[in-house]
Chains A and B, each alone.
Chain A
Amino acid sequence: MSSNKSGVLMSDETNKGLNSPFRRKLLMGMAALPAMTMLPKASFAQAPATSAVNTTGLAVTDTEVTVGILHSVTGTMAISETGSVQAEKLAIEQINASGGVLGRKIKFIQEDGASDWPTFAEKAKKLLVNDKCAAVMGCWTSASRKAVLPVFEQYNGMLYYPTFYEGLEQSKNVIYTGQEATQQIIAGLDWVQKTKGAKTFYLLGSDYIWPRTSNKIARKHIEGHLKDSKVVGEEYFPLGSTQFNSVINKIKLTKPDVIYAIIVGGSNVAFYKQLKAAGIDLSKQTLLTISVTEDEIDGIGGENIAGAFACMKYFQSLDNPNNKAFVSAFKKMWGEKTVIGDVTQAAYLGPWLWKLTVEKAGSFDIDKVAAASPGVEFKGAPEGYVRIHENHHLWSKTRVGKAKADGQYELIYETADLVEPDPFPKGYQ
């Protein structure tokens, strides 16, 4: 607080000094300290004038900048989205503690999307039109993102979207901090074929756009790029479905080398329990999922899913200094029992990437932030180094983890290099 205030005072002086030759002379004649305030780079809290960094009327004052947080904290999605809200609040607190963005503290306005897509659109509009938020961290499901996307494009806002998703989208107004489908899928399939010698795959999914598109990419990769491999079954279940017995019987009949499961939300609990009850032992049967993070295991129960493999970019157990600091800060803020999944980590990236981009652009203006985004690097990411691609997705590593009975993943494999995001994959559409 105090450092911000003094920073602003200094900048005011700087401005006046620049405007008045007399003062300028006076300042120049004085000792080194005031002169230092003339050099923006050297002053300890750089707070450039609001008029210079905000030319489009965003909610930026000399001391504060307002951002929005838009997730479901009520309704069916609340259980998934709460982690994202917590991660975003943690990131904002840490950024404020380290001096804020362009010398301004971040103030956030939280809105509840209530697991209801039109509510998301309504609240997004409120955050952009009424509150003039400089950026919004939010959304989780594809449906909510699709609902708010036209709002962000029309009112020229900036959305940081944390979830791994199906791709087929790219917008000037969105930074996708999760992985798009090809990043998550291809490396995992290559790994499972190489290490398990898998030839036959059974694809499962909840019935909506993300699992369907992901399975489409998986099928094209299996049939077109993996040698002698084929898909022996593909099935979808309505969201919230809890009856998997018939498909489990089919799996037992076809005996696929790999069960490839993209089942989301509460259905997971029923699916893994029924698998176990049907006698399918995941330590012998290879199961690869891209939809079960540590958050979901919390509901499924570690003993029901132990042995399954998950392919994503982050696990809470990652062993690097960034992640250790992140996990301990997260638990300190939100309690020892909280778990951190892939999306939670991606949500944590949002405020940081925005801060870095704003400082690169030297402005809060949406157009400048959007233009400055490609190439922004975040070395402090818990998952390791990430960088924003020209298509507004992140370069990131893909990792495979093995579920353990204590609800954590053990890292088995990670790609050597960052995987390029490719939301419109050629040959996979």
Chain B
Amino acid sequence: MIINSRFFNRSELIGFVSLAVLLFLILPLSLDIFRLNLVAKYLTYAFVGIGLVLCWGYGGILSLGQGVFFGLGGYCMAMFLKLEASSVANTKIQSTPGIPDFMDWNQLTAVPMFWKPFYSFPLTVLAIIIVPGIFAFIIGAAMFKRRVGGVYFAIITQAIAAILTILIVGQQGYTGGINGITDLRTLYGWDIRTDHAKFILYFVEVVLLFGCIIAAQFIRLTKLGRILVAMREQEDRVRFSGYSVANFKIFAFCAAAIFAAVGGAMFTLEVGFMSPSFVGIVPSIEMVIYTAVGGRMSIFGAVYGSLLVNFAKTMLSESFPQLWLFGLGGLFIAVVLAFPSGLSGIWADYVQPRIDRLLSSRKPKAAWTESSVADGAPAE
């Protein structure tokens, strides 16, 4: 009961409820299906953002390779969908019917071994969680046990992103190469390309997103979350107090990887294909930018950051096809210079105090604000 009542403090509860109202009611009711599908695409980056809040905002581990995990999750889902789309009936034009089209173009005559598990949906779902999880564990264990951190860790994650891209592009018979895995059609015979399916997938995704928000909030509030913050501020003191710093870091990194993978899998379902252009360095850095714009200390900030930056990207590029990148770049510089803690910083510094004042003038009891300050403490 105590945990329940403290799970969200008041301002977080407001944030949670307003986000739920926005995503479950306002957006689906006000947008047409095309725009709603775009929102769904933007939200897949919010999964990565939430992971980054945990591992970068709280744990101080800046990963510039989240695209790797986003991509792994997305590829797992894409492999399943591609196998289903490559039925013998759909591919009879090929020299070997029944295998994915890009394999046929690359003279493969049978589905390779590592594709076989992806004939089964339960195994695919398991792989979406486990493959990136294990991969993150290996990277994390190799790095953090050796006390590699900070900038070096960021550089290494970036290198991994580059390596994985080259691997995928180079092995096009097995991965679809630079074209990626395209033309995905059905999930258990359910056509994922129809408007109706897009609508349902949107809600599935929002439910998963809230699952991730709650999981992240849970991690943040337990002792674990406080140790992460302590580690970020004074790693040696935590180590001298007897904690295994490496294990906590590995955990945060794995959690972030799994969140990103779920986002990647949803991305494949929403967009209908997966390609190495989401795995590389540029998308990985973009994902960090979404989080930075939203505010790296705020879970909700990460969601709003992903939504707003991507929304601005779409809008600017529709209105100014030649100039939009400059506009977007300027926007980033402005946000980072003027508001280093991002959108959530603007909210906490300017909007929140006014709301508090408004509410406290109505209710003279000061107890609420005190407790919210206390709860918010580890985040500072």
Q: List A residues at the B interface (Cβ < 8 Å).
A: 73-74, 110-112, 114, 116-119, 121-123, 125-126, 129-130, 142-143, 146-147, 149-150, 154, 166, 168, 207-209, 212-213, 216, 238-239, 424, 429
Q: Which residues of B are at the interface with A, using a C-beta cutoff of 8 A?
A: 32, 34, 37-38, 41, 93, 95, 102, 105-107, 166, 169-170, 172, 177-180, 182-185, 193, 271-273, 275, 277-278, 314, 317-318, 321-322, 324-325
| Contact partners of A121 in chain B: CB under 8 A | 271-273
Contact partner of A212 among B172, B182, B184, CB < 8 A? B172
Docked-complex contact B275 and A143, CB < 8 angstroms? yes
Tell me how far the C-beta of A121 lies from the nearest C-beta in chain B, rounded to whole angstroms: 6
Find out whether the CB atom of B275 lies under 8 angstroms from the CB atom of A147.
yes
By a CB distance below 8 angstroms, the chain A residues around B183 are: 146, 149-150
A424: chain B residues within 8 A (beta carbon):
93
Question: Which residues of the partner chain A approach B180 to less than 8 Å between Cβ atoms?
Answer: 117, 143, 146-147
Chain A to chain B: the 6 pairs with minimum beta-carbon distance, closest first: A112-B321, A143-B179, A146-B182, A208-B178, A129-B34, A146-B179
B contact residues around A213 at 8 Å (CB): 105
Contact of B41 among A116, A122, A143, A150 (CB under 8 A): A122
Query: B317's contact among A111, A154, A238, by CB below 8 Å, is which?
Result: A111
B182 to A74, Cβ gap below 8 A?
Answer: no
How many angstroms from the CA of A247 to the CA of B66 in the assembled complex?
Answer: 35
Q: List 30 A-B contacts (CB under 8 A).
A: A74-B324, A74-B325, A110-B321, A112-B322, A114-B325, A117-B180, A117-B277, A118-B41, A118-B271, A118-B275, A118-B277, A119-B317, A121-B272, A121-B273, A122-B38, A122-B41, A123-B317, A125-B37, A143-B180, A146-B182, A146-B183, A147-B273, A149-B183, A150-B185, A208-B177, A209-B172, A209-B178, A213-B105, A424-B93, A429-B95
5 additional A-B pairs beyond A74-B321, A207-B172, beta carbons within 8 Å, are A112-B324, A116-B277, A118-B271, A147-B275, A209-B172
Q: Smallest CB-CB separation from A213: which chain B residue?
A: B105
- B95 contacts which chain A residues (CB < 8 A)? 429
Identity of the chain A residue whose Cβ is nearest the Cβ of B102 in the assembled complex: A209
B317 touches A114 (CB 8 A): yes
A429 partner residues in chain B, CB cutoff 8 A: 95
Give bound CA distance, A121 to B179, whole Å. Answer: 13
Complex CA gap A93/B325 in Å reads 28
Chain A residues, Cβ within 8 Å of B278: 118
Q: How far is the CA of A74 from the CA of B328 in the complex (A)?
A: 13
Q: Which residue of A lies closest to B37 (CB)?
A: A125
Residues of chain B with a CB closer than 8 A to A147's CB: 179-180, 182, 273, 275
Which of A111, A146, A150, A166 is close to B321, meaning CB atoms less than 8 Å apart? Answer: A111
- Chain B residues, CB < 8 A from A154: 193
Cα–Cα distance between A121 and B34 once the two chains are bound (Å): 12
Q: Which residue on A lies nearest to B185, using beta carbons? A: A150
B272–A150 contact, CB under 8 A? Answer: yes
A142–B169 CA distance with the chains assembled, in angstroms: 14
Residues on B with C-beta less than 8 A from A129 are 34
Q: How many A-B pairs with Cβ below 8 Å? A: 98
Q: A111-B321, A168-B105, A424-B93 are in contact. Are A238 and B275 (CB under 8 A)?
A: no
Tell me, rounded to whole Å, the shortest Cβ–Cβ distance linking A273 to chain B: 24
Closest B residue by C-beta to A154: B193
A150 touches B182 (CB 8 A): yes
Residues of A within 8 A of B177 (CB): 207-209
Q: Which residue of A lies closest to B273 (CB)?
A: A147
Q: Which partner residue on chain B sits nearest A112 by CB separation? A: B321
A239 to B276, CA, bound (A): 13
CB distance from B153 to the nearest CB of A (A): 26
Kindly state the separation between the CA atoms of A245 and B94 in the bound complex, as whole angstroms: 38
Judging by beta carbons under 8 Å apart, are B275 and A126 in contact? no
Residue of A nearest to B177 (CB): A208
Instruction: Tell me which of A122, A150, A216, A238 contacts B169 (CB under 8 A).
Output: A238
CB-based nearest A residue for B165: A238
Which residues of chain A have C-beta atoms less than 8 A from B34's C-beta? 125-126, 129-130
A194 to B317 alpha-carbon distance, docked (Å): 51
C-alpha spacing A362/B322, complex, angstroms:
35
- Cβ–Cβ < 8 Å partners of B193 in chain A: 150, 154
Residues of B within 8 A of A114 (CB): 317, 325
**What is the CA–CA distance of A119 and B317 in the complex, to the nearest angstrom?**
10
CB-CB < 8 A to A116: which residues of B? 277
A contact residues around B324 at 8 Å (CB): 74, 112
Smallest CB-CB separation from B323: which chain A residue?
A: A74
Using known A-B contacts A112-B322, A126-B34, A143-B275, determine if residue A207 contacts B169 with beta carbons closer than 8 Å. Answer: yes
Indicate whether A149 sits within 8 Å of B182 (C-beta atoms), given known contacts A126-B34, A209-B177. yes
Whole-angstrom distance between the alpha carbons of A257 and B106 in the complex? 27
A142 CA / B179 CA spacing, docked (Å): 7
| Residue numbers in A under 8 Å from B184 (CB-CB) | 150
Kindly provide the distance from the CB of A245 to the nearest chain B CB, expressed in whole angstroms.
19
Q: Is the CB of A73 within 8 A of B322?
A: yes
A147-B106 Cα distance, complex, nearest whole Å: 19
Residues B106 and A239 in contact, CB atoms below 8 Å apart: no
Contacts of B178 in A (CB 8 A): 143, 208-209, 239
Interfacial chain A residues near B272, Cβ < 8 Å:
121, 150
Residues of A within 8 A of B37 (CB): 125
| Chain B positions within 8 Å of A110 at CB level | 321
Residues of A contacting B107 in the complex (Cβ-Cβ under 8 angstroms): 216
Residues of A within 8 A of B169 (CB): 207-208, 238-239
- Alpha-carbon distance between A129 and B34 when the two chains are bound, in angstroms: 7
| Nearest CB on A from B262, distance (A) | 18
Q: Are A126 and B318 in contact (CB under 8 A)?
A: yes
Point out the residues of chain A lying under 8 angstroms from B32, CB to CB: 130
Contact B179 A208 (CB under 8 A): yes
Complex Cα distance, B328 from A114, in Å, reads 13
Q: Max chain A CB contacts within 10 Å: which of B34, B178, B271, B278? A: B178
A146: chain B residues within 8 A (beta carbon): 179-180, 182-183, 273
- A424–B101 Cα distance when bound, in Å, is 13
CA distance in complex: A216, B107 (Å): 10
Q: Which residue of A lies closest to B181 (CB)?
A: A146
Q: Specify the chain A residue showing the minimal Cβ separation from B184.
A: A150
Tell me the complex Cα distance, A146–B275, Å: 11
A267 to chain B minimum Cβ distance, whole angstroms, is 14
**How far apart are A119's CB and chain B's nearest CB, in angstroms?**
8
